[in-house]
Amino acid sequence: MKNFNFNDLFVLDLANNHQGNLKHGLKIIQECSKMVHKHKIRAAIKFQFRQYESFIHPHHKKNSDNKHIPRFLSTQLSQKDWEVLFKAVKDEGLLTMCTPFDNESVPIISDMGFDIIKVASCSAKDWPLLEDIAFASLPVVASTGGLKINDVDNLVSFFEHRGVAHALMHCVSIYPIPQDDFHLNHIDTLRKRYKNTVIGWSTHEDQDDTVPIQIAMAKGAKMFERHVGLDTDEVKLNVYSSRPKQLDKWFEAYRYSEILCGSSTHRPITAIEQDSLDGLQRGMFLKHDVEAGLILSATDIYYAMPFVSGQLSSENWVENGIHTTEAIKKDAAVFPANVDIKSSNRYRVLKDAIHEVKAMLNNASISLNSEFNIEFSHHYGVENFREVGALIIDCVNREYCKKLIVVLPGQKHPSHFHKRKEETFQSLSGNFEYMLDGRKKVLKPGETALVQPGVWHEFWSKDGCIVEEISTTHYNDDSIYSDKKINDLKRSQRKTVVKNWGRFELIEN
């Protein structure tokens, strides 16, 4: 089935708060919709279906000692009434959602045209019901209240194997939830364990408490659910159901958290922040008059406030690498226009790349031991490594070979083939773009590509990627490049090989 976007979805559960009263239910939908539209929230109104003729045992339809049954029976609505409520939700421009508690309710949900189907925590191990839910071919949101982690594993696998678009709600099935039982850290566990599944937070706390949604959002929850209702002379809401004013505050807290959390990728540095830091930075100044053509040493300069906009700072110091291009007076600020800055270490670009590669490995949760070699491929010179090349981590090279290939953002590896080696690439993190025998392709995480001997291939990555290469034995003289200039280079001219991270080997004497 097609994917469904569960992100930023709010589920408002009517549950039994309509009290089996059509007019009351319509009023709840109307008042909640006002709050939804006020805060520009993407929301679904959720119903609960039970076919009471078969759902409740005949001996318990009167005088049952089960506390839920009398409540269920007292809040029944006819199919006609449900259709009126369903239309009211659609008329408000909201999504429709329904929780079936029995198999008989599932085809009714499908026939009515609901947008989403919900699995209640109490039904998350009800396999006959889950089979019918999966067969309905609707996107599914499943709550995980009371489930052990292996139960959640089973549930996720169940929907994955059936190709059902699904999301999970971290949920605690206590009404209301005591402070000690929130366990919002479990959102982290679910997000890490089910990386391709949207995780949400289904709440049953005191509805005046807006802190949990803010923490849940910061933890990475992308969906939120709570019960909603209205007070009347006859109806008094429980503490875990939201009145419209409480819903207003809840949405407001979410939007505020959204602002505070900001970007999840690269944090922008504003001019205000940069100006604030510049005001505390030490600028580079001359201790004495210097002539043009001097290589500045630490004895020629000092650092002091205030930092002059555009001047060199302590951050820019390079030992034996700053050459004056004109005379500079004592106590004058040093600007880029006054000097020529040259790194004294030609391997600086490789050393800088190591820091980025380590961060990429950490982000992909890839761990290495302390026994490996690193190969920097720089086909057009070390100074151009950031644009053309790759960092290769040699793990094993026997009759079989395993490597990790790290392609930095924007980096490209030129066209070549291997005379003997057959290799298979598997993307572990990021998109690996490649040309194989003239055909452009993309490997997404988990996908594989076979490259046979003699087949031309090249690769690159816009945002950076980590690829595992499994191959037959690697030989140093086995690569033929389409650019003959590369073939004419000695191996040492196009490769820098170091042990581990090359802490000392990348220091030029």
Domain-embedded: residue 146: yes
Domain-embedded: residue 415: yes
Q: Is 410 helix (H, G, I), strand (E, B) or coil?
A: coil
Cα 465 to Cα 55: distance, rounded to the nearest angstrom: 52
Residue-wise pLDDT for 425-474, tens only, equals: 999 999 999 999 999 999 999 999 999 999 999 999 999 999 999 999 99
- The strand ranges marked E within 296-399 are 301-304, 322-324, 339-341, 373-377, 390-397
Cα 4 to Cα 441: distance, rounded to the nearest angstrom: 26
More confident residue, 68 or 367: 367
Q: Is the pLDDT of residue 422 over 70?
A: yes
Residue-wise pLDDT for 71-99, tens only, equals: 676 677 889 999 999 999 999 999 999 99
Q: Is the pLDDT of residue 131 over 60?
A: yes
**Chain mean pLDDT for the chain:** 92
Domain-embedded: residue 509: no
What average pLDDT score do residues 318-335 get?
A: 93
Strand partners, 439: 436
Phi then psi for residue 284, to 5 deg, are: -90, 125
Residues 92, 97, 100, 105, Cα dihedral to 10°: 60
Of 240, 261, 282, the residue at which a domain comes to its end is 261
Pair (306, 178) in one structural domain: no
Contact 189, 232 (CB under 8 A): no
Q: Is the pLDDT of residue 133 over 50?
A: yes
Return the CATH number at 110. 3.20.20.70
Domain-embedded: residue 267: no
Of 341, 376, 400, the residue at which a domain comes to its end is 341
What average pLDDT score do residues 413-429 get?
A: 97
- As a whole number of angstroms, the longest Cα–Cα distance in the chain is 104
Number of domains making up the chain:
3
What average pLDDT score do residues 137-165 get?
A: 96
Residue-wise pLDDT for 170-223, tens only, equals: 999 998 999 999 999 999 999 999 998 999 999 899 989 999 999 999 999 999
Burial class of residue 351, CB neighbours in 10 A (0-12, 13-18, 19+) = middle
β-sheet with 390-397: strand ranges across = 448-451, 423-429, 465-472, 400-407, 390-397, 373-377, 495-499
Domain-embedded: residue 425: yes
More confident residue, 64 or 29: 29
Domain-embedded: residue 508: no
Pair (357, 238) in one structural domain: no
Pair (362, 332) in one structural domain: no
Pair (309, 377) in one structural domain: no
Q: Is the pLDDT of residue 115 over 60?
A: yes
Closest C-alpha to 110, from 95, 124, 100: 100
Residue partners of 29: CB distance under 8 A and separation at least 6: 14, 45, 85, 88, 89, 92
Supply the range of the domain harboring residue 487: 348-499
Domain-embedded: residue 250: yes
Place of tokens 């205000």: 272
Pair (278, 250) in one structural domain: no
Token pair for 203: 């709440």
Cα 225 to Cα 201: distance, rounded to the nearest angstrom: 6
CA 278 remoteness from chain centre: 33
Residue-wise pLDDT for 363-413, tens only, equals: 999 999 888 999 999 999 999 999 999 999 999 999 999 999 999 999 999
CA 37 remoteness from chain centre: 27
Query: pLDDT band at 40, cuts 50/70/90?
Result: very high
Q: Using DSSP, how many helices (H) and how many strands (E) does the chain show?
A: 14, 25
- The strand ranges marked E within 208-327 are 223-228, 241-242, 283-286, 301-304, 322-324
Domain-embedded: residue 2: no
Query: pLDDT band at 233, cuts 50/70/90?
Result: confident
Pair (35, 171) in one structural domain: yes
Return the CATH number at 414. 2.60.120.10
Q: Is the pLDDT of residue 344 over 70?
A: no
DSSP assignment string, 174-219: -SSPPGGG--TTHHHHHHHHSTTSEEEEE--S-TT--HHHHHHHHT
Pair (395, 313) in one structural domain: no
Cα 129 to Cα 109: distance, rounded to the nearest angstrom: 13
Token pair for 185: 């850290």
Return the CATH number at 324. 3.90.1210.10
Percent of the chain with pLDDT over 90: 78
Pair (174, 320) in one structural domain: no
Residue partners of 148: CB distance under 8 A and separation at least 6: none
Pair (390, 291) in one structural domain: no
Pair (312, 437) in one structural domain: no
- The strand ranges marked E within 336-464 are 339-341, 373-377, 390-397, 400-407, 412-418, 423-429, 432-436, 439-443, 448-451, 457-460
Q: Is the pLDDT of residue 508 over 70?
A: no
pLDDT on residue 509: 40
Of 341, 370, 390, the residue at which a domain comes to its end is 341
Pair (42, 125) in one structural domain: yes
Cα 414 to Cα 494: distance, rounded to the nearest angstrom: 12
Strands 166-171, 198-202: pairing kind: parallel
Q: What is the pTM of this model?
A: 0.82
Phi then psi for residue 166, to 5 deg, are: -145, 160
Task: Name the DSSP letter for residue 386.
Answer: T
What average pLDDT score do residues 472-501 get?
A: 94
Pair (200, 128) in one structural domain: yes
Token pair for 411: 């980096």
Cα 321 to Cα 503: distance, rounded to the nearest angstrom: 21
